[in-house]
Amino acid sequence: MNETTQQAIVQTLREKILAGELSPGQRLVEAQLAQWLGVSRTPLRYALSVLSSEGLLDRSGARGYVVRRFSVRDILNAIDVRGVLEGLAARSVAESGLSPALAASLDACLREGDAIFEQRHLKPGDDVRYAEINGRFHALIVEASQNMAVQAALSLNEKIPFVSPFTIAFDESARERQFLMLMYAHRQHHAIVDALKKGEGARVDSLMKEHTHISKESLNLSLPALHLIAGAA
């Protein structure tokens, strides 16, 4: 079982939780879940452990999991916090100067994203691939800031579901909308890199905060959907 397939199972489970197909408080039985998804138990066990570490699932018993209940406000607040923290990190990188190695790595992320969006539609697996590119892009900037306090705060913040930049989830009915939103987010990545290269600290700080607004949309985090997922009144 290769890593790409494992990540695809993680992504599928995320999307089913987001769509409400796996509801808050629901107990997940490994054997039934494997049969439902048509996958073997080993990669499924990996996927469940990943989603548990992200905060989407809670441990229940020796090997069991339940879908975590979380509040709508928690998620929206945490996404805003990510924008502030990443804005601080990006400002620091812009003001201290972009290293050639970081510039090359960020440019590679931009090229990989460009290749996806030049197709004018998302092929199967593109959402998983872009989630990895997006996560890597954000991680490069945060790591380059060398601000351990920001890194620790982001790590804690991302335990709240759907907050991590590695998480992009949509249901199949929203593919066209997903493509347009992700393409817009990718254009923002280009603007962020431009500001970093020009040493524009205030601009890149503002861009990173603005970037979280499209994150909410690209994750399909409308309030009605969040209320459904959270099981809120």
Class of domain 73-221: mainly alpha
Class of domain 3-67: mainly alpha
- Cα gap 2→189, rounded to integer Å: 29
Mean pLDDT of the chain: 86
pLDDT in tens, 156-207: 888 777 788 877 766 566 677 778 888 999 999 999 999 999 999 999 999 9
pLDDT in tens, 3-36: 668 888 988 888 787 667 888 889 998 888 999 9
Mean pLDDT computed over 214-221: 66
Give the pLDDT of residue 171: 57
pTM for this model (two decimals): 0.71
User: Domains of the chain: which residue ranges?
Assistant: 3-67, 73-221
